[in-house]
Amino acid sequence: MCNNLVMEYVKFWILVFCTFTTISHTSAESDEDDDYLTFPPGFRLGAGGAAYQIEGAWNVSGKGVSVWDTFTHTYPQNIKDGSNGDVACDSYHKYKEDVRLVKEIGLKYYRFSLSWTRILPTGYPNVVSKDGLRYYNDLIDELHRNGIEPVVTLYHWDLPQVLEDQGGWTNDEVVNWFGDYARIVFTEFGPKVKIFTTINEPTSFCREGYGHLNRAPNKDLDPCGTYLCGHNALKAHARAYHIYDREFRPTQNGKIGIVFACPGQIAKNPGDEATVDTYYQFTCGWFAHPIYSEEGDYPQIMKTRVAKNSFDEGYFRSRLPVFSPKWIEYIRGTADYFGLNHYTSVLVEEAPKERETILDTGIHASVDSSWPDTATSWLKIVPSGFGGILRKIRDEYNNPNVFVLENGCSDNRTTLSDTQRIEYFYSYLKEMITAIKRDGCNVTMYSIWSLLDNFEWNDGYAEGFGIVQVDFKDPNRTRTPKLSVDRWKEVVRTRKLQPLNPTIEDASELFGHQGRKRSAKC
């Protein structure tokens, strides 16, 4: 009796509460908003950088020459400011400062890549550099001493030049070369590293390094070279995965995966979801489908379109190489997590044949003029695209565990007051947390890209993604935190996103009317 009364009473108040929260949601959405600003329990935050972009010391202790050493020295005119990574942030000497910065912000892990030629100067495992091993062991130990987990990428674009001279990623021997290198890495560092990433953004170096003249190794091999590079990169990744899985996992018990560049895509003509899907399959799906889908192999639309174009053009076979059933099986399932690099989005529409399209998509990509610019020409601020790609990955591959391994934006390195970056992180992370909490996307790690301003590939030092500025004119490569470091410290401490500095009265002055309007909406 008494219990029943209590139950009725409880029910009444639940009803009142629900009605009230529904009303308040429809009117202000404030509770929900608040929840989407708070990181879920156990969610991990970190920051990253890549060997060639930060280490410098390109020729110390017998280090071998990589394709990026060769490219920047041979074609300085291809780098915006004619610079190179010879010294970069000098992290080879200053790694302790980098670790201290990560610690001061309160981040839980640090993502960095290994320089293949620093460890194996000849490119092969016949010579293992003592100094190369010493450097990475010192860095890993320094991280552990400071309670920071190392997240280690084996390959971030700096192939040994000697292997490039034999075809590099277009020679399928690279599967053996990469496997041998990976075995050395797991043997030497595996006891102290629990998260490995095999290859960073194969779409980027395959398209821009082998497809057309732009980045190292500066080969112009399309319309076939891009796909051939990708084919071998998938095989090489799978080889490294299986080596880890069989020989090292039983004792080291870590996780290993690969990381893709997955842009967001939004239909130029509302409702044109077929085009959105095709574009996705040719960018993210090209590498993700063979690994994460249940059936494996390239996405069907990719096989169909490339084959059709190839036969139309007079080839006897598809320019997209074909995997044997054995290779399909060997590659399928070779990742313990889904590594995601995401920066920006594009508008996509079917294109008439004569218009420039991406690979064989038959799609024209453009940007919306209302999307705010950053210092990087290709990087527009489109937070909604981040949520979109996370939901797409959830739907395509049965909700894999996603590690966001790169996200950030650039500035032109003239100011420490990087308010646009603060706004970028706020709006993108809010999208991500919403995708986790509202849409059930299984994202558990997020990496700020990057810790330091560094050698930004073809853009040299003209722009910086760092939350810490580096003075590249100073031989000491002095590091100075930007405003976003202060903001990150607060976010990490409270585990809650903070909007732009409330003391800035009128943010439209900072971003222009359009930018502010958009980000308020997102």
**Shorter beta-carbon distance to ligand NAG: residue 260 or 327:** 260
Helices (H), 397-499: 419-437, 483-494
Q: Which is nearer to ligand NAG, 101 or 382 (CB)?
A: 101
Distance CA 48, CA 152 (A): 10
Token reading at 287: 């590498």
- Residue 476 within binding range of ligand NAG, rule CB under 6 A: yes
Active-site pick, 142, 164, 406, 423: 406
Interface with ligand NAG (CB under 6 A), residue from 137, 412, 480, 514: 412
Residues 6+ apart with CB under 8 A from 199: 153, 154, 155, 233, 236, 237, 258, 259
Distance of closest approach, residue 482 Cβ to ligand NAG, in angstroms = 13
Nearer to ligand NAG, 176 or 442 (CB): 442
Could you say whether residue 86 binds ligand NAG (CB under 6 A)? yes
d(CA 70, CA 73): 5
**Short-list 484, 487, 490, 486, CA closest to 465:** 484
Q: Which of 78, 171, 176, 442 binds ligand NAG (CB under 6 A)?
A: 442
Closest distance between ligand NAG and the C-beta of residue 402, in Å? 9
CB of 313 to ligand NAG, least distance (A): 43
How far is it, in rounded angstroms, from Cα 449 to Cα 49?
Answer: 7
CB 113 within 8 A of CB 150: no
The minimum distance between CB 3 and ligand NAG, in angstroms, equals 35
As measured in angstroms, the least distance from the Cβ of 436 to ligand NAG is: 9
406 noted as active-site residue: yes
Q: Which is nearer to ligand NAG, 206 or 216 (CB)?
A: 216
Closest to ligand NAG by CB, 278 or 420: 420
Binding-site member from 126, 253, 414, 503 for ligand NAG (CB under 6 A):
414
| φ and ψ of 214, to 5 deg | -160, -60
Per-residue buried b or exposed e for 3-28, using 16+ beta carbons within 10 Å of the residue's own CB: eeeeeeeeeeeeeeeeeeeeeeeeee
Residue whose CB is less far from ligand NAG, 135 or 177: 135
**158-to-16, 64, 140, 325 alpha-carbon distances in Å:** 61, 11, 20, 31
Distance CA 177, CA 379 (A): 34
Positions in 477-496 near ligand NAG (CB under 6 A): 478
Q: Which residue out of 55, 142, 149, 201 is catalytically annotated?
A: 201
- Binding-site size for ligand NAG (CB under 6 A) equals 9
Using CB positions, name the residue nearest to ligand NAG: 401
Contact predicate 89/470, CB 8 Å? yes
Binding mask 320-359 for ligand NAG (x = CB under 6 A): ----------------------------------------
**351 vs 500 by CB, closer to ligand NAG:** 500
* Binding-site member from 293, 304, 401, 458 for ligand NAG (CB under 6 A): 401
CB of 365 to ligand NAG, least distance (A): 25
How far out from the chain centre does Cα 506 lie? 33
What is the smallest separation between the CB atom of 278 and ligand NAG, expressed in angstroms?
A: 28
| Beta strands 479-481 and 468-470, pairing class | antiparallel
Phi, then psi, of 415 in degrees rounded to 5: -145, 150
**358 vs 462, beta carbon nearer ligand NAG:** 462
Please give the Cα distance from 220 to 75 (Å, whole number): 15
Q: What is the dihedral of CA 401, 293, 396, 236, to 10 degrees?
A: 70
Q: From the centroid of its chain, how far is CA 425? A: 15
Nearest Cα neighbor of 520 from 346, 345, 384, 393 is 384
Nearest-approach distance from CB 516 to ligand NAG, in angstroms:
14
Residue 201 known to be catalytic: yes
Residues in the chain: 522
**Burial tier of 61 (Cβ tally within 10 Å: 0-12, 13-18, 19+):** middle
Which of these, 368, 357, 339, lies nearest to 237 by C-alpha position?
A: 339
Asked if 253 touches ligand NAG (CB under 6 A), the answer is no
> Least distance to ligand NAG from the beta carbon of 412, Å?
4
Which C-beta is closer to ligand NAG: that of 227 or that of 425? Answer: 425
Active-site residues: which are they? 201, 406
Which positions lie near ligand NAG, rule CB under 6 A?
59, 86, 399, 401, 412, 414, 442, 476, 478
